[in-house]
Amino acid sequence: MQNSMKPDRTTQTDAPRAEAQRERDGSIGVASGATAMAELAYATAVTALAVIFSALAERSLGFTDLSLVFITAVLFVAVRTRMSIAVYAAVLCFLAYNFFFIHPRYTFYIAAGRSVATVVMFLVAALICGRLANRLRTQVILLRAAHAHTEALHTLGQQLATAADEGEVFRAGLGALRQAMGAEVVILSMDDATATLVNVASAPDDPDLEPDARAAAEWRLLHGQTADRGTDARHSPSWWCLPLSAGGRSLGMVCLRFSDRRAAPSPDLTNLAQAMVHAMAGASARTRLVTQLELARVQGETERLRAALLSSVSHDLRSPLATIVGSAESLSVYRDKLSREDQAVLAENILIEGQRLDRYIQNLLDMTRLGHGTLTIHREWVGLDELCGALLPRLRRLCPPTEIELQIPADLPLLYVNPALIEQALFNVLENAAKFSPSDQPVTLSAARCDGELQIRISDRGPGVPEEERQRIFDMFYSVGRGDRENRAKPGTGLGLAICQGIVAAHGGRVVALPGDDGQGTMILITLPVIDPPTDQPREE
C-alpha cells in the first residue's frame, strides 16, 4: 500500500488521488471488502508483533513503558491505513495490552485503580495519535495528488504554448486528459461557419466513441447547462461534457467517460479537468487568432500584388500601345501631309514602343514561370565573359548612351548555370543600373571568387536606394509605385529585379542591394555558388 514515487506518470498521478478519494469517501468504512480485510489483517499483525515485542521486553521495562510499544504500533498502522483501521488498531492494542500485561494477566479484568487510569489514558492517547497520524497521511497524499496535478497541468501548458495550430492543441489536450483522468476522451471542435461540432479527436482512437459523445455534447450545448453534474447525469449518463470556450465564445466541447461509468469525478479531478480544458481553450483561441491573422496578411499581400499587377498591366501595356496605335494611325491616315522626317519619327516610335512592349511581356512570362516553381534549370558550363558578350549587344540597343565597364578576371571559374536565365538576370540588373545612372558615368560589372562563391557586383552612379527600401526593390512591381510618384521618364515594370532574384535563387544564389563603393549610387551583389567542373579534361589531339 506504500505509495512510492514511481517514474510511471500514470501511477504517479492516479494512485494517490484514488487513495485520497477513498480516504474521503470511505473513512467510515465504505472501502472495498478486499482492501478492508487486508488492512484489518495488517493492523492485527502489527498488534501481534507489539505483543511479542512487549513479552520479550517485559523484563527490562515496566508495564507502563510497554504502553509506548503499543502506541508506536497504533502510529504505525495509522500512517499507513485509513482512520477506521487506526481506531480498530487502537482498540485492539488496548485490549491486548490489558489482556496480556495488566494484572491479573490473561483477563480483561483490571485489579489496581492505577492500572485503570493507565489503560484508559493509553486508549485516549492511542486514539488521538491514530487520528493525528492519519490526518498527516491524508495531507501528504493530497499534497502528492496536487503536485501531480500541477505537474500534469504544467506539462500540458508547455505543450500548448508551442502548439502551432488547433490540431496540435487538441492532440496535446487529448493526451494530457487521457493520462490524468484515465478516461475515454473525445474533443469536438466548433466550426465557426456552420456553428456545429466537428473535427473530432478521440483517445483511445475509436470511431465508435464519437457519435455517442457528440450526442451528449450537442445535448449539453443545446441546454446550455453550467457544470451541473446532476442534470448532465440524467440526460447523458455516461459522458461528462466540459465546454471549450474562450472570451465568451464557444470553441468546442470536451467529453469524458470514466471506466466505472461515473457521471463525473471527484471535485479535485473536476478542478484538474476544468483547468486543463481552460488551458486548451486559451491555446485554441490563440491558434485560431494566429491563423486568422496569417490569412488576413496573405489576403492583404495578394490584394496588394493584384492591385500592383493591374496598375502595371494597365499602365505598362497601354502606354506603348497608345503610342503604337497613335503613330501607326497617323502614318496611315496623314501620310501625304507628313514630312519625311515626321514619318521617320513616327515609325521610330512604333519600333521603340513595340520593343518595350516585348520586354514587358517577356518579364511577365518570366515572372509567371518563376512564380509557379515549374522552372526546371537545365544547367551547362559557361563563362561569365561569354554571357556578357551575349547580353551587351542587347543592352546597347536599349540604352545606347550608357557605357558598361567589365572587370572579369581571366582565371574566373566557369559557371554551371542555365546560361539564358543567368544572362537575363544580369541583363535586368544592368538595364536597371543603366536606367538610373547618369549617362556620362559608366556602370561597372566586376566579378571575383570569394570563399567558394562567385560574387558579381554591378555598380551604378545613380541616386542610390535608401536603406529602408533596399530589400523592397526586389519585390514584384515595386518600382511601379515609385515610378508613378517620381519619374515617368524612366519607365519600368518593377519586375526586372524580382525576376533576377527569382533566377538567382533558383540557382542556389542570392542577390542584395548595397550602397555604392563611396556611398554614391547602388551596388547589386549577386552571389552564386561555385561548382568545380569535372576533373576529366577534354581529349586534346
Partner 1 sequence: MESPGARVLVIDDEPQIRRFLSISLSAQGYEVNEAASGREGLRMLATQGADLVILDLGLPDMDGQQTLRELRAWSSVPVIVLSVRASEAEKVAALDAGANDYVTKPFGVQEFSARLRALLRVKPESEQPTVFEDGHLQIDLGRRVVRRDGEPVTLSRKEWALLSLLVSHAGRVVTQPHLLRELWGPTHEDDTHYLRILVAKLRTKLGDDATAPRYIQTESGVGLRFIGES
Which residue's entry shows cell 441546454? 223
- In the bound state with partner 1, the residue whose beta carbon lies nearer, of 30 and 420, is 420
Which residue's entry shows cell 524580382? 498
Query: Which residue of 300, 371, 389, 438 would you call a contact of partner 1, by CB under 8 A?
Result: 389
Least distance to partner 1, CB of residue 408, Å: 7
How far apart (Å, rounded) are the C-alpha atoms in residues 188 and 197? 6
Q: Rounded to 5 degrees, what angle do the CA atoms 94, 99, 103 make?
A: 110
C-alpha cell at 212: 455517442
Binding mask 307-346 for partner 1 (x = CB under 8 A): ----------------------------------------
Is the CB of residue 477 less than 8 Å from the CB of residue 312?
yes
Least distance to partner 1, CB of residue 344, Å: 15
By residue count, the chain amounts to 541
Is the CB of residue 237 less than 8 Å from the CB of residue 263?
yes
CA dihedral 273, 275, 277, 282 (to 10 degrees): -170
Query: CB atoms < 10 A from the CB of 211, how many?
Result: 11
How far apart (Å, rounded) are the C-alpha atoms in residues 185 and 193? 25
- In the bound state with partner 1, the residue whose beta carbon lies nearer, of 370 and 513, is 370
Which residue's entry shows cell 499587377? 309
Distance of CA 24 to the CA centre of its chain: 41
Query: Which residue of 309, 406, 514, 525 would you call a contact of partner 1, by CB under 8 A?
Result: 406
Q: What is the chain's alpha carbon radius of gyration, rounded to the nearest angstrom?
A: 44
Least distance to partner 1, CB of residue 451, Å: 22
Least distance to partner 1, CB of residue 210, Å: 54
Cis omega (within 30 of 0) on the bond before 204? yes
Query: Which residue of 86, 89, 388, 513 would you call a contact of partner 1, by CB under 8 A?
Result: 388
Least distance to partner 1, CB of residue 347, Å: 11
Residue 252, Ramachandran bin (φ over 0: left; ψ between -120 and 50: alpha; else beta): left
Binding mask 410-439 for partner 1 (x = CB under 8 A): ----x---xxx--x----------------
Residue 297: what residue type? R
Least distance to partner 1, CB of residue 436, Å: 23
Binding mask 504-533 for partner 1 (x = CB under 8 A): -----------------------------x
Residue closest to 244 by CA, chosen among 200, 211, 205? 200
Query: Which residue of 165, 294, 386, 469 would you call a contact of partner 1, by CB under 8 A?
Result: 386
Query: Which residue of 14, 23, 316, 366 would you call a contact of partner 1, by CB under 8 A?
Result: 366
Query: Which residue of 224, 230, 452, 534 would you call a contact of partner 1, by CB under 8 A?
Result: 534
Should residue 165 be labelled a site residue for partner 1 when binding is judged by CB under 8 A? Answer: no
Number of residues that bind partner 1 (CB under 8 A): 34
Should residue 371 be labelled a site residue for partner 1 when binding is judged by CB under 8 A? Answer: no
Least distance to partner 1, CB of residue 499, Å: 12
Q: Rounded to 5 degrees, what angle do the CA atoms 532, 534, 539 make?
A: 135
Q: Specify the stretch interacting with partner 1 by CB under 8 A; choose among 62-70, 364-372, 454-462, 466-474.
A: 364-372
Least distance to partner 1, CB of residue 356, Å: 11
Instruction: State the DSSP string of 282-313.
Output: HHHHHHHHHHHHHHHHHHHHHHHHHHHHHHHH
Should residue 90 be labelled a site residue for partner 1 when binding is judged by CB under 8 A? Answer: no
Least distance to partner 1, CB of residue 362, Å: 6
How far apart (Å, rounded) are the C-alpha atoms in residues 232 and 254? 14
Q: Specify the stretch interacting with partner 1 by CB under 8 A; choose among 26-34, 130-138, 217-225, 357-365.
A: 357-365
**Interface contacts to partner 1, rule CB under 8 A:** 354-355, 358, 362, 365-366, 369, 378, 380-383, 385-392, 406, 408, 414, 418-420, 423, 533-534, 537-541
